[in-house]
A and B are shown apart, each in its own frame.
Chain A
Amino acid sequence: MNYPLYIRSAPTENELKFHYMVHTSLDVVDEKISAMGKALVDQRELYLGLLYPTEDYKVYGYVTNSKVKFVMVVDSSNTALRDNEIRSMFRKLHNSYTDVMCNPFYNPGDRIQSRAFDSMVTSMMIQVC
């Protein structure tokens, strides 16, 4: 069952479009993961790289060992954003998610309402935009 534990977009108008994009990208994530399982090549990275490009956006993916999927949608016109920057953003997301999981007041599966998580995402989005 796939539902977002957390979703955030900027600009906030047309939010539904981003929600839809993220939702459809989950299939691509599943394809990549199952392809890895069958391939003889060892894909040991949690970072999945570019999932697919659209005309206006690039979509990136990352899956943890606990099967939590992170999806990032970035404006195509942002050519300054390098692969290693995307990787480090996913690392930050993963680190913050781990902190949420270790919070005993957080119930796994609930929507994430942590202020620390929010401010980490905010600062990342500000840096990129």
Chain B
Amino acid sequence: MADEALFLLLHNEMVSGLYKSAEQGEVENGRCITKLENMGFRVGQGLIERFTKDTARFKDELDIMKFICKDFWTTVFKKQIDNLRTNHQYLAFTCGLIRGGLSNLGIKSIVTAEVSSMPACKFQVMIQKL
């Protein structure tokens, strides 16, 4: 895997670049969070494809959630856990990442995040039952 610093710098630029273009009126302000979330979604889909390529077949939804909570989470967040921000703009991409990962495994969800007490960050994953 590439150096973590590369992603952090890119993420920083993504956020500030997007908000700058919002200031200049190119993008509506409220859309910035959505755009970041959608970027994360697409990346999450790809990550999950790569991470589940060599795993066993998931039997059921419980299997999937166990994978997300253990393997996927530690691979993605063990790197991120020291770098938490309070602003939602920095969490949007990550929420999208989780939602994209779940989506590619056939689970529709809504992912939100909140930081009530640093350095903890709570992600809420709401799964839509069909």
Contact = CB atoms under 8 A, between A and B. Distances in A.
A46 B54 CA distance: 9
Mostly, the A contact residues are loop
A104 B56 CA distance: 26
A94 B56 contact: no
B56 A45 contact: yes
Interface of B: 42, 45-46, 48-50, 52-53, 55-60, 104-106
9 shortest interchain CB distances as A-B pairs: A44-B56, A65-B52, A101-B49, A102-B46, A66-B104, A98-B49, A101-B46, A98-B53, A65-B58
B50 A37 contact: no
Contacts of B55: 65
Contacts of A36: 57, 59
A67 interface: yes
Contacts of A45: 56-57
A43 interface: yes
A49 interface: no
A90 B33 CA distance: 39
B50 A65 contact: no
A53 interface: no
Interface string A31-42: 000001100001
Given A43-B57, A95-B53, 15 more contacts: A42-B59, A44-B56, A44-B57, A45-B56, A45-B57, A46-B57, A64-B49, A64-B53, A65-B58, A66-B48, A66-B49, A94-B53, A98-B50, A101-B46, A102-B50
Contacts of B104: 66, 108
Interface residues of A, number: 20
B106 A67 contact: yes
Contact of A101 (B45, B59, B60): B45
Contacts of B60: 37
A32 B60 CA distance: 15
Nearest to B50: A98
Contacts of A98: 49-50, 53
Contacts of A37: 59-60
Contact of B42 (A43, A67, A104): A104
A46 B49 CA distance: 13
A104 B48 CA distance: 14
Contact of B52 (A42, A66, A104, A108): A66
A108 B59 CA distance: 24
